[in-house]
Structure 1
Amino acid sequence: FMDVTIDGLQDAEAQDLLTKLKSRLYATSHDILSLHRVELRKGSIDPKCREHIQYLDSICQQFVSQMKVRIEAAVCHSETGRRRKIWGSMEQEEDLSDWVVEEAWQHTNMGAELSKGVYGREGLLGKICLAMWESTATRHEPVVVHGAAGMGKTSLLCKVVQEIQDVLESKAVLVIRFLDAQHPQRPDIDHVLRSICLQVCLACGLSPPPLLTAGTHLELLLFFRNMLEDVSQRGDTLLIVLDSLEQLADKHHAHKLLWLPADVPPNVHLLVSMDTTSEAFANMRLKLDTVQSFFEVNCLSQEEGEHIIESYLRACQRTLTQEQKDAVLQSFEETRCPLHLRLILCAAKCWTSFIPRTALSLGASMEEVMSQRLQNLEEKHGKELVGGALGYIVLAR
């Protein structure tokens, strides 16, 4: 493509700027650039021209080969850093330590990032932190955060972790696992418990028994419970956070929560979240004796929605016209769901002030907003490219 003036002539100013841009890019990045020279026909590429066909083939082959090299390099680097080992094998303990440290680091960083997106919820946040702080010195039940999908349970949990760490001892051991991080690959409860046990043992100076890597499910559960008691008796402070229990695999009837202790020892905090409509939540209600340990994440109020809009736009250094803001609030009122509002704002931050009301990408639900965004991508980049890219993402999960 070439920029032309209103009368159809080549835009000399735009061409001069393009030439200068190419020169700067080549001067600073010539070692990673591959130059291609081709003579245009009537200012554009003609897919029927033999030379142009060869040029397009060369570009595509070069892109594919370079992407393969970069992906392979990234995978090798990732595998070297993580040193992922199969539990139950005869690998050395230090290899397992490296693996669990890397896993713990990833989940902790994810939690720190997600906590930044929490606006409002101060009242619920304060109630949860107060309940955990008051139960520190006594035996207590796990703290359960529940709600419908998209209500912000994960972000709220991360914010609780951030707040409660300031209240608890500075040396408190944090163990956090996002069980839906690899959705739809549901995690095995044995894998989750083993990684937690190893992280706690490493952090608290406890020695995991040899059976930890080859024991049965019942032996693992016994070690997990005994480990919590040992940490409590030593006077160490431990915070275990498990997000989205409904995402656990069905192996060992994990959703029945037989593995989850209903009586948590002093100095140990167990904070979990789940969907209110899930089997895990139904079993949790049967497992715990009181309702004081349950905290529901409800819909946002209109005032909270307005506060989120202002905070989000301020962080993005963007603003909306009053008409646009009213349109966002009107769409948000349909669900009052944080995720729905976040999806709308992701699209709204790209709006211009002069865009007409009829052209605003809005939807009455999360599904509608996502459908519109995918449709816009297809219109901009082509259905084949978008469909192929999304297909690769699904396969990669």
Structure 2
Amino acid sequence: MNTLAFVVVLAVLVTLATANSYNQRSWGSQGSKSLGSRWNSRQLNNGWNSGWNSGRLSGGLNGGYRISIGSEQCSDDNIQIKIVDLDWGLPTDSLHADQSLTDFKLREIRRCQRYTAGPTFVAIIGQRYGNKVLQTSIPAEEYDLIRMVLHKHKGRETRAAPILDKWYIKDNNSIAPVFVLQDVASVIPDIISNDKEKQKKADQEWKETETEMKRLLNKGAEFCYLEGLIDSDTKQKYTMSEFENQTQIGIEESSCPSSLGVVLLRRIVDLTNYIDDPKAPIFTEILYNDKTEEYETDTVSSHLLSKMANRLRNLVSENNTTSFDVLWRYDDVISPELHKDYLKSFCDNFKNKLITLIDNEASKLPVDVEPEICEEALSHLMRCRDLADDFCVRAEELVALQNYLQNNYNHPIVIHGASGSGKSTLISKLCVEIPEVFNKNAITVVRYVGYTSRSSDIKQLLSSLCTQILVALGKENNEIPKDFKDQQNLFHNLLKNIPDDKLLILLLDGIEQISKDYNAHLLSWLPGQLPTNVKIILTTDPVSNKILEKLKKDVVTNESSFIELRDLDLESCVLTLDFFLFRYGRKLTDQQKMTFQSAFSKHPCLLYISLCAEKARHLKSTETMENVIFPENTVDAINRLFDELETDHGTTLVSRAMCYLVASMTGLGDLEMEDVLSMDDDVLNSIYVTHHPPTRRIPFIKWLRLKEVINRFLLERVTNGVTFYYWRHDQFADVIRERYMKDESIVKTVHSLLADYFLGTWAINPNPFRQLLFLYILTTPFLQTMNTLAFVVMIAVLVTLATANSYNQRSWGSQGSRVLGSRWNSRQLSNGWNSGWNGGRLSRGLNGGYRRHKRAATYDPYRSSHLDSGLGRFDRWGIDSGRRSNLGWRSNSGWRSNSGLSLRGRFPVYIRLNIISISRIAQNGEIYKTVHFIF
């Protein structure tokens, strides 16, 4: 290839690389989209420590525009909002292939409405109504009616009705019997075949079958409605699209549609002029008319969309509704340049409406008069109510505790039992019943040791206990001693001087988890003798830290003051299983229940039963238990749960998410988990194999779906007003450490990434990711003449440009730099810092604290890599930045984020890039439109 041609190629590549951000396609440009705003009321009421102080809220729009809401634009810095598009980041084919995805989205929207104190839903409506929903579960009465009328009205439209009986089977394990759609692979096995040709045919067969079943159910519902067998709401369920179903729940079923929803409508006014364009089906439903032999818009879908839009306009206030009219602009349809004014107006309108709604709702939130006093007590009380809901057995022990409270005992009482035996649930149930027994005369103080930072060490625990008691007695609480001995004396004096007309009840759960600081395990802070109007109930593990042994020896010497939670009898085990299943609206057949009884006779532990219940609730009445092998013990049951999670969600995603939960001392919130997983290249590489979104982040729905499965075993922790999730039972953390964190390199990678995140390392300068370089180029006559040397040079330049461009592709929002001062409790800080900063980094120590240490500044040859483009082997050198995950850059290596790069010394081919998508090319033998670099 001549020099001029090569220069032209490079110029095109440079232009395309630098203009990559303008070719982003996202929810603002086509079709219709519904967005859920996840805003936790508990977090709002308690106040977020960071709010939007350091970051911004952003959502990509076509043309590279970003919607950014900064803290200076809102009246309350203690609010943090998360915009979630549940479809974002997922390939289009997976949105329709996964039968359970639709139901999950609806559950997530409802969950958002339950826990949100502000705007919850944004509907962005174009001219496409969307795909109709195939019901995965149909009430038995409705299915029988539809089936009956389809067989009654014989004709061309109903002749395929028997196909429904092939795909839907009756499940009597639902308390209200239903017909459930079978898994596709169970009817069409080839859909998961490794043979691509068989899989392709099976996929086509399923699409045709799905379309036919939708049509039959729709027709059957119409017949039933005309005959008066069902009402209009039931009929609509079989005719509406998934999009309308989401908007109906998100806006129409919300508590206040006028103030909690936003509707934005966009109409391409000349769309009908481009019906024959290949892109037209993206923007509206197109049908082929056999009579006229022409394409035309689907009038039924257009009518349904129009009805939905008008209905939403009437529900949502006029201030929260905006319509936009635009013109079709050539190949881009929505052009970054020609529609610049529209895109800017859209973004500004979206942003301003949300800011107004947030400010309006924030002004209604209650203000805590004494947040430092109330927050700790409220956090434990909320957990108490959550745990009390799980109480169903241990009635005998509950009565014994009630007798203790009502009689003149003058010593503490101790409940002990193995992990998962129900200690926390028992005292939680007792706590919520105290007001009913003692009316207003009882002062109840409950603490779950280790649940919050202020309950993790004895000094902070005593301080919070004394503060709450003083407030309850109406006394001054401003002078709580700082010295531990003085705190201990104050605590003892308060217990001795409770007024005779008051009853003080202290419930301390899991005291074996108290830190050893100030010799807390010696229990000198705990009085053995109490006034008769002071009651203390403790729970402890019989093994951990020998707390039980110390209690028996030095504090509570009366044997009758100890209550042991032994294994449950078989009847209690079955009752517990039924209780858990009933909460999900499920039950078991007699044969299935007998099989579980046999397993429970060997392992009568509450946690084991709870794990089995999670499996049992998915059993259908048609399933037999002949070949089922139950877990040998609780640890085996937890491992099997993780096996299933890895199968359904991917090994890398599950293992890393579990590691981050355990490695973070206080747990992680939804936003933090999404951010941390988005910084983990191993996770992103496992998710984005063939599909790559414009912005390299984990899809919102990935963590949310994973969390939904394990939510039964997670607890919510509130630290400094922020809600985090952690394991209810230590056995989960122990299994995770043994299963996923035995390799020291993985442990270091996990802690290093968490440290970078909490330090805000990538909050300003986005994190360059590492990947192997795979270059896929469709051979054209224009490229075939390029000689090898020119091709190598072009790749070097392309890699350089792509690397510089990648800094503008990753953004972490407001999370990265907010934790210093908000998540570090005194215990973590008191673990000590090694002397000398020296440009070092922060990493998580294995002792649960954070420490600073020097960064290695050694020059280290990196292993060589193969390029799949046929270029052969290139030696690659790197500068070890001290991070085992190799995500960072040495400060003097010549790289400058967001401003290109400066090459000094050797060319730093240290980065691993994945140039994975070259789209719209090879038309008439030329590079046609654009090259996407996904980073």
What is the TM-score normalised by the length of structure 2? 0.34
1:247 aligns with 2:517: no
- Of 187, 202, 211 in structure 1, the residue corresponding to residue 471 of structure 2 is 202
Q: Specify the alignment match of 1:104 in structure 2.
A: 377
Query: Are residues 192 and 186 of structure 1, via their aligned partners in 2, closer, same or farther at CA, if it must alter by over 3 Å?
Result: closer
* SS of equivalent to 1:295: strand
Distance 1:82 1:303, change over 3 A: farther
- Is 2:453 aligned against 1:187? no
Q: 1:59 corresponds to which residue? A: none
Does residue 113 (structure 1) correspond to residue 386 (structure 2)? The answer is: yes
Of 340, 344, 355, 2:608 maps to 340
Give, in angstroms, the shift of residue 382 of structure 1: 1.0
| AA in 2 matched with 1:103 | E
SS of aligned partner of 2:564: strand
- Aligned match of 2:241: 20
Q: Distance in 2 between matches of 1:357 and 1:166?
A: 44
Q: Which residue matches 1:89?
A: none
* Offset of residue 367 of structure 1: 1.0
> What is the letter of the counterpart of residue 342 of structure 1?
S
Query: Which stretch shifts more, 168-177 or 218-227?
Result: 168-177
* 1:260 aligned residue: 526
Q: For each residue in 1:150-200, what CA deviation from the matched residue of structure 2 results, as whole angstroms up to 9, or x when unmatched?
A: 1111111112223444333433111000114259x9811010110011111
CA distance, structure 1, for counterparts of residue 264 and residue 625 of structure 2: 43
User: CA 1:186–1:228 in 2, change beyond 3 Å: closer, same or farther?
Assistant: closer
The alignment partner of 1:362 has SS state of: coil
Per the TM alignment, residue 5 of structure 1 is displaced from its structure 2 partner at its CA by 6.7
1:351 aligns with 2:619: yes
The one of 101, 126, 144 aligned to 2:414:
144
Structure 1 alignment gaps of length 5 or more: 41-72, 84-93
Aligned to 2:426: 156
Aligned with residue 127 of structure 1, among 392, 397, 400 = 400
Q: 1:53-68 counterparts in 2 under 5 A? A: none
Distance in 2 separating the partners of 1:393 and 1:242: 25
Partner of 1:297: 565
Aligned counterpart for 2:442 among listed residues 152, 161, 172: 172
Aligned CA distance change for structure 1 residues 280 and 34 (closer, same or farther; 3 Å) = farther
Q: In 2, distance between residues paired with 1:332 and 1:262? A: 38
Equivalent residue pairs, number: 342
Q: Structure 1 residues 285, 19: closer, same or farther in 2, change over 3 A? A: same
Does the CA-based 8 Å contact 2:441-2:501 persist in structure 1?
A: no
* Higher percent of residues as helix: 1
Indicate if the aligned counterparts of 1:173 and 1:238 stay in contact, CA closer than 8 A: yes
1:241 and 1:271 in contact (8 A); partners too:
yes
Mapped partners of 2:468, 2:424: distance in 1: 21
Displacement after TM superposition at 1:393 (Å): 2.3
Counterpart in 1 of 2:583? Answer: 315
What SS class does the counterpart of residue 416 from structure 2 fall into?
A: strand
- Kept in 1: contact 2:445–2:507 (CA 8 A): yes
Cα contact 2:448–2:455 (8 A) shared by 1: no
Pick from 491, 494, 504 the counterpart of residue 238 of structure 1: 504
DSSP 3-state at the match of 2:399: helix
Does residue 226 (structure 1) correspond to residue 496 (structure 2)? The answer is no
Q: Aligned ranges for residues 206-217 of structure 1 at < 5 Å?
A: 206-208=475-477, 210=479, 212=480, 214-217=481-484
Other-structure match for 1:382: 650
Instruction: Work out which of the residue numbers 547, 553, 576 in structure 2 matches 1:280.
Output: 547
Task: Quote how far apart the aligned CAs of 1:358 are.
Answer: 5.6
Distance in structure 1 (CA, Å) of the matches to 2:628 and 2:265: 40
Max radius of gyration: which structure? 2
Identity %: 23
* TM-score calculated relative to the size of structure 1: 0.76
Distance 1:364 1:248, change over 3 A: same
Which has a greater percent of strand? 2
Please tell me whether the aligned partners of residues 142 and 262 of structure 1 are also in contact (alpha carbons under 8 angstroms): yes
Q: Secondary structure at the match of 1:218?
A: helix
Cα deviation code 1:68-102 (max 9, x no counterpart): xxxxx9xxx9xx9999xxxxxxxxxx6xx412212
- Please tell me the residue identity of whatever aligns with 1:285: K
Q: Which runs of 5+ in 2 are unaligned?
A: 1-92, 98-202, 216-237, 252-260, 267-278, 283-357, 668-935
Which amino acid letter does the alignment assign opposite residue 362 of structure 1? F
Q: Secondary structure at the match of 1:112?
A: helix
The one-letter code matched in structure 1 to 2:474 is: G
